[in-house]
Structures are given as structure tokens and as C-alpha cells.
């Protein structure tokens, strides 16, 4: 595979960004042109990605020095390159990013129609794709970090896209800052790795980490620290506990953005990073931590999703929850399964977000599902595609989510039964809240406000076609690639990437015990039961307007986590900075000392000035006194 291909793949969205960003002024009013340029740019990348995929399937992997483009930061004892690493894992990510990305661009052409910031929107979106590609293409941690921060920036820009809305800009800022907290960990993780390996290149680090020499010199502790710090980065980026708080708020952005960034691609960067660093996590045995954080987040977020009434927020918490699953997968050593779930999730969650966007489009931006109901008739395509997505996530047999989730749960059992149990409960909750959403929104009596009701309609083709296209892989990709569990086509394709990690980890994780079939059956039953409960409870009835019990209230308010963070971190820091540091320490003490010195000198001067009487004879007297004393000293003493 040639480096040039990857360069084209990478640069294409950047070019799109530059055209829309720099010359947007001239494109203004011409939606077709700017939308077309943005979409085309991603299409080019998608085609390149397919070529790259074919190449990797043929065994052509781009790594090591061959992938180096140029020396970025270099000096005595350190060299960091801009370079590419393209293997099976990368191409999977590339296909997801550019494929789903392309569809979402197409969808956006319709969705953003008439928006004042149309050009700006496509510029940002292209920039995001570029940054995400940098993230997955990099052949070293530093370049991954570049993309890592880049997607964070685009996320910030796109969440706050409608910048006149205070809540949107607040959410954008929150996302960026919380992500920065994660990035802080990532940064320190990189430093730890560099201190140990003298390089940040994947091939160099993984090669050296495996070698016995390294183990002898550094033991495991360096790696434990490094992998945990990197994981902090992943927790921030992939919205895991305790840094998940930004993702639900991020729904302030345009819905296609939520689909692309906050469901399909950016938030999965953490999973990609851990899959990429599989060797390190295996050597450090820190996968357990990852898995536990993942499963607890999955459960926690699912409980919150149960009580929300805002469609996008339910989907957001569901994303947090599903990301937790992925972390369980990569945490328990089932890297391929984690990545597989990443891919299926990108399809079905992207699909559901876009469908939710379609609903919003029809409902004049209404998001509260209590004000919907019975939309099935008016929006059949949206309904069916949404349903497919929901079935997939709920683990309905033979749809994509069923396969990927089941693989993860199966592997989790081998690692720790408790993880499996919690994961299974979460699967039940997932099915329940998803179908609560479906039933309340699309079935039952219409509760749509009369003013809106007449306008409710199916979205234009430019929007529903991407839905249909996404529905297809959501439904069947599991069957195609996931059949056969750990022996499936997907596992086969990514085998080479995780081979080294598997070899190291064989001792750590017991090979998934027994046949997968019982697990599949249990999962399927749990999912179906969840759907059934939802049907019983919500297919006919309207959800309660107000939370009933105290527990319900606690959960509905998201456990007051935002309020706690605000009270514990945000406000104290603000107040301490303002009152203590600025007013007291800076102005009062430090500047007070500086000005105090000046004042003291002025007082001394003021006192001494009285000696200056202006009477010449007083001066002469003092002069003569001085002369007398001086002479006396000179003559009689010295």
C-alpha cells in the first residue's frame, strides 16, 4: 500500500475544510456547492479507505519507517514523526469513519438546509473527519494525541455550533474542558512511555515492551502507570465514569454531529487506543481496571437512560453505556470483539441518531418524547429504520448488536463472572429503555401539539436514504462478519493485529469457557424480556409526567452528578481564584509588598525632606559641622 494513498485519504477532508473555511464567504448562499464539496471530500477518503482495506486484506500493511511522512519534532535524544500505521484495525476504523461520515455528510445536506452557518458547518465537519483520520492513522502516540485533541476541538466547535444559545456554548466548553482533563492523563501517559522507551512509535514501543530486556529493567510498574494514565485519556474522550458528564450535554449540537462524533467515531477513540495498545495492557495487566470501569459505566448510564424523556439524551446515555461495553471487551482481552462492537455500534447508533434527527426535523425541533406518540404512521421510514437500530442495540437475535455484544459478554464471563452479570443486567436495561423510547415515540396515541401536528411529515430523500443505507449494515453485518463468534470473519481479519497481545494474554484471561451458544441464548432471552417489559408498560400508556419515588427522582436527575461536580470543583475553584488568589494574594499580599516598598520609600523621603529648609545658612552650618567632624576624625583618631 502506498503512502500516497493514505496522504490523499487524509488530506482530502482537510482540503474540503480549507475550501469551505477560507472561501466560505464566497460560497455563501450556495448550499449545494459547500455541502457538495464537504461531502465529496469525505467520499474521496471513503474510496481511498476501501482501497486501503483491500490492500490490507491482501496483506499489505503500512508500518514502521515506511509510513513516515516527515520528521515533526526532533532534537538531541528525541524524534517524533508524522507517519502512518495502517493495518487491519486502522482500516476498520477508516471504513467506519469515512463510511458513516460520508452518509452523515449526505444527511446533513438536507438536515442543515437553510441554516445560517451552513458553510461553517461543513467546514467543521470536514475538519473533524480529518482530525479523526489523524487519530487512527498515526504511527505513534503523539500523532494519535494530535488527532485526539483535534477531534476534541471539532467537538467543541460543533457542539457550540449554534453559538447564540448559551446552553450550546456551555456544553461545548464543558466537553472541551472535560476532554482536556482526560488529555492531561494521556499526555502524562505518553511521557511515562517515552521515559521508559525513548520513543513514542507504536512498533518501537510494542517491540521493546515485549522483549525480556525491558521487563528486567523496568518491571511492570512503569507500564501499569503508563497504561492507566492513557486510560484516563480514554475515559475522558469516550465518556466513561467519572468523566462522562460532557456527552449528554453535547446533544446541544446539531443531530448529525451527535451521530457522527458522539456516537460513531470520536467517542470510540478511547476504545481504539486501548485496542491499539493491547500489548501494553496485556503486559501491565491493567485490562481489569478498564473492564470494571466499562461495565460500571454501562450499568450506571443505562439506569439514567431509563428515566430520561429527551430522545437525544436517551441515545446519549445509551452511547455512554455501549461504550462501557466496548471497554469491557477490550478490557477482558477480547480486543476484536470490542472493536467489532465499536463498528456495529457506529452503524446502529449513528442510524438512531439520524432517525432521531429526522423526528426532530418533522417535529420542529421538539425532543421531548412525551409530546410525541403515534408517529409511526406519519413517518414510516424513520420508524422502521429506528426500529432496526433499536432491535440491534437490544440484542435481538441475528441483528448486528446481538453478535458483538454477545461476544463481549461471553469473553467477560471468562474474565470475571461479576462483570458478565452486570453486563447482562445492563443488556436488559438497554432493551427496556430503547423500546420505551420506540413505543412512546412511534406508537400509541398522538400527543403532538396541534400546531405542530399538521406539519409532521416524512423527511426528504436526502435524509432518509442515508437512514436506509445505515439500516442495512445495522441489520446484517453481524450475520456476515460475526457468525461463528471468535472464529468469525471479523476476528480473522483483525487476527494479525492482536496476535501479540493474545499470546501474552493467554495466561491472564482464561479462554472463553465452553461453547458460545448458551450465552447467545441467554442474551437473546434477556433482550426479548426487556422489550416485552417495555411493551407491557409503554405501548399503551403515556409515561408519567413527574418522577414518582425518591429513587426515580434521583435517577431522573442523573444522580445529581453535575450538581456535585459544580459544587465540589467548579464553584470552589472559581471562588478561590477570585477572592483568595486574585483579591487577597495577588492584589493584597504580593502587590501590597511591592507597593509597600514604594510607600515606605516615599515616607522616608518625606521625612528627610524636612531637612531641606531652603535657608542657605542651615546648609552651611551642617557643612561646617561635617568638616569639623571629618577633620577631627582625620587628625585625632585615624
Binding to other proteins (CB under 8 A): which residues in 489-548?
Answer: none
Nearer to other proteins, 503 or 586 (CB): 586
Q: Which span sits near other proteins by CB under 8 A: 270-278, 316-324, 364-372, 571-579? A: 571-579
- What is the pattern of x (binds other proteins, CB under 8 A) and - over residues 277-316? ----------------------------------------
Q: Which one of residues 86, 132, 142, 419 is an interface residue with other proteins (CB under 8 A)?
A: 142
Q: Which one of residues 46, 111, 145, 300 is an interface residue with other proteins (CB under 8 A)?
A: 145
3-class state of residue 395 by DSSP: coil
Is residue 137 within 8 A of residue 6, CB to CB? The reply is yes
DSSP labels, 520-564: HHHHHHHHHHHHHHHHHHHSSSPPPSS--SHHHHHHHTGGGHHHH
Shortest reach from residue 630's CB to other proteins, in Å: 10
Length of the chain: 638
Q: Which span sits near other proteins by CB under 8 A: 96-104, 189-197, 458-466, 539-547? A: 189-197
Q: Which span sits near other proteins by CB under 8 A: 196-204, 243-251, 504-512, 520-528? A: 196-204
Q: Which span sits near other proteins by CB under 8 A: 52-60, 210-218, 442-450, 454-462? A: 210-218
Nearer to other proteins, 306 or 585 (CB): 585
Is residue 101 within 8 A of residue 265, CB to CB? The reply is yes
Query: If binding is defined by CB under 8 A, does position 603 make contact with other proteins?
Result: no
Between CA 331 and CA 341, with CA 335 as vertex, the angle to 5 degrees is 95
Nearer to other proteins, 78 or 559 (CB): 78
Nearer to other proteins, 157 or 469 (CB): 157
Shortest reach from residue 195's CB to other proteins, in Å: 5
In 594-630, which positions are buried (b, 16+ CB within 10 angstroms) versus exposed (e)? eeeeeeeeeeeeeeeeeeeeeeeeeeeeeeeeeeeee
- What is the pattern of x (binds other proteins, CB under 8 A) and - over residues 612-631? xxxxxx--xx--xx-xx--x
Cα 447–chain centre separation: 35
Neighbours of 110 (CB within 10 A): 20
In terms of DSSP bridges, do strands 68-75 and 78-83 run parallel, antiparallel, or are they unpaired? antiparallel
> Which residues within the stretch 578-597 sit at the binding site for other proteins (CB under 8 A)?
578, 581-582, 585-586, 590-591, 594
Cα Rg of the chain, angstroms: 31
Query: If binding is defined by CB under 8 A, does position 577 make contact with other proteins?
Result: yes
Query: If binding is defined by CB under 8 A, does position 91 make contact with other proteins?
Result: no
- What is the pattern of x (binds other proteins, CB under 8 A) and - over residues 17-36? ----x---------------
- What is the pattern of x (binds other proteins, CB under 8 A) and - over residues 45-74? -------------------------xxxxx
Calpha distance 603→581 (Å, rounded): 29
3-class state of residue 86 by DSSP: strand
Neighbours of 487 (CB within 10 A): 9
Q: Which one of residues 58, 59, 77, 507 is an interface residue with other proteins (CB under 8 A)?
A: 77
Strand boundaries in 588-638, DSSP class E: none
Calpha distance 277→433 (Å, rounded): 34
Cβ contacts of 200 within 8 Å, gap of 6 or more: 80, 140, 141, 142, 190, 193, 194
Angle between helices 335-362 and 311-331 (to 10 degrees): 170
Shortest reach from residue 578's CB to other proteins, in Å: 4
Query: If binding is defined by CB under 8 A, does position 370 make contact with other proteins?
Result: no
Q: Which one of residues 78, 483, 559, 560 is an interface residue with other proteins (CB under 8 A)?
A: 78
> Which residues within the stretch 148-167 sit at the binding site for other proteins (CB under 8 A)?
149-150, 153, 156, 160, 163-164, 166
Is residue 227 within 8 A of residue 290, CB to CB? The reply is no
Amino acid at each position: 500500500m502506498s503512502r500516497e494513498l493514505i496522504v490523499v485519504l487524509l488530506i482530502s477532508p482537510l482540503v474540503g475544510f480549507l475550501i469551505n473555511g477560507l472561501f466560505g464567504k464566497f460560497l455563501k448562499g450556495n448550499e449545494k456547492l459547500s455541502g457538495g464539496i464537504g461531502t465529496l471530500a469525505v467520499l474521496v477518503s471513503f474510496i481511498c479507505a476501501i482501497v486501503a482495506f483491500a490492500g490490507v486484506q491482501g496483506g499489505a500493511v503500512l508500518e514502521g519507517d515506511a509510513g513516515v511522512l516527515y520528521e515533526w519534532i526532533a532534537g538531541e535524544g528525541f524524534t517524533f514523526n508524522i507517519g502512518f500505521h495502517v493495518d487491519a484495525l486502522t482500516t476498520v476504523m477508516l471504513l467506519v469513519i469515512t463510511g458513516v461520515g460520508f452518509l452523515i455528510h449526505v444527511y446533513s445536506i438536507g438536515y442543515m438546509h437553510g441554516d445560517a452557518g451552513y458553510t461553517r458547518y461543513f467546514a467543521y465537519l470536514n475538519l473533524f473527519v480529518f482530525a479523526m483520520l489523524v487519530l487512527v492513522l498515526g504511527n505513534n502516540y503523539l500523532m494519535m494525541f494530535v488527532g485526539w485533541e483535534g477531534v476534541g476541538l471539532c467537538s467543541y466547535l460543533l457542539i457550540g455550533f449554534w453559538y447564540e444559545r448559551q446552553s450550546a456554548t456551555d456544553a461545548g466548553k464543558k466537553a472541551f474542558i472535560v476532554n482536556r482533563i482526560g488529555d492531561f492523563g494521556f499526555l502524562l501517559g505518553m511521557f511515562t512511555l517515552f521515559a521508559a522507551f525513548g520513543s513514542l512509535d507504536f512498533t518501537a514501543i510494542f517491540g521493546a515492551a515485549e522483549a525480556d530486556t525491558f521487563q528486567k529493567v523496568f518491571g511492570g510498574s512503569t507500564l501499569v502507570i503508563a497504561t492507566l494514565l492513557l486510560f484516563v485519556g480514554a475515559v475522558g474522550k469516550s465518556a466513561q465514569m467519572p468523566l462522562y458528564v460532557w456527552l449528554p450535554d453535547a446533544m446541544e449540537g446539531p443531530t448529525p454531529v451527535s451521530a457522527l462524533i458522539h456516537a460513531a467515531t470520536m467517542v470510540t477513540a478511547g476504545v481504539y487506543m486501548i485496542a491499539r495498545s493491547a500489548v501494553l495492557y496485556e503486559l501491565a495487566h491493567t485490562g481489569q481496571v478498564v473492564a470494571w470501569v466499562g461495565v460500571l459505566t454501562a450499568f450506571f448510564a443505562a439506569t439514567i437512560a431509563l428515566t430520561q424523556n429527551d430522545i437525544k439524551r436517551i441515545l446519549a446515555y445509551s452511547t455512554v453505556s455501549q461504550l462501557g461495553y466496548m471497554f469491557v471487551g477490550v478490557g477482558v482481552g477480547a480486543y476484536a470483539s470490542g472493536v467489532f462492537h465499536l463498528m456495529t455500534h457506529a452503524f446502529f447508533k449513528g442510524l438512531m441518531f439520524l432517525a432521531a434527527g429526522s423526528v426532530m426535523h418533522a417535529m420542529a425541533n421538539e425532543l421531548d418524547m412525551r409530546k410525541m406518540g403515534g408517529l409511526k404512521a406519519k413517518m414510516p421510514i424513520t420508524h422502521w429504520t429506528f426500529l432496526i437500530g433499536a432491535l440491534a442495540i437490544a440484542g435481538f437475535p441475528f441483528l448486528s448488536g446481538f453478535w458483538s455484544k454477545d461476544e463481549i459478554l461471553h469473553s467477560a464471563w471468562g474474565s470475571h463472572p461479576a462483570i458478565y452479570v452486570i453486563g447482562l443486567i445492563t443488556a436488559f436495561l438497554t432493551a427496556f429503555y430503547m423500546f420505551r423510547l420506540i413505543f412512546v415515540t412511534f406508537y400509541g396515541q398522538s400527543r403532538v401539539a396541534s400546531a405542530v401536528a399538521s406539519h409532521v411529515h416524512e423527511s426528504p430523500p436526502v435524509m432518509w436514504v442515508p437512514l436506509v443505507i445505515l439500516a442495512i449494515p445495522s441489520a446484517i453485518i453481524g450475520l456476515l462478519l460475526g457468525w461463528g463468534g471468535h472464529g468469525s470473519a471479523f476476528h480473522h481479519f483483525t487476527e494479525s493485529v492482536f496476535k501479540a497481545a493474545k499470546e501474552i494474554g493467554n495466561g491472564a484471561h482464561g479462554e472463553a469457557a465452553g461453547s458460545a451458544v448458551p450465552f447467545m441464548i441467554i442474551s437473546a432471552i434477556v433482550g426479548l424480556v426487556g422489550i416485552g417489559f417495555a411493551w407491557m408498560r409503554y405501548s399503551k400508556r403515556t409515561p408519567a409526567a413527574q418522577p414518582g419515588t425518591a429513587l426515580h427522582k434521583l435517577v431522573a436527575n442523573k444522580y445529581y452528578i453535575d450538581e456535585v461536580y459544580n459544587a465540589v470543583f467548579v464553584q470552589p475553584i472559581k471562588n478561590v481564584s477570585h477572592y483568595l488568589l486574585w483579591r487577597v494574594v495577588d492584589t493584597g499580599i504580593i502587590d501590597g509588598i511591592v507597593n509597600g516598598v514604594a510607600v515606605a520609600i516615599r515616607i522616608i523621603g518625606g521625612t528627610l525632606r524636612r531637612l531641606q529648609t531652603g535657608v542657605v545658612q542651615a546648609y552651611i552650618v551642617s557643612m561646617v559641622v561635617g568638616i569639623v567632624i571629618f577633620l577631627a576624625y582625620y587628625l585625632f583618631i585615624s
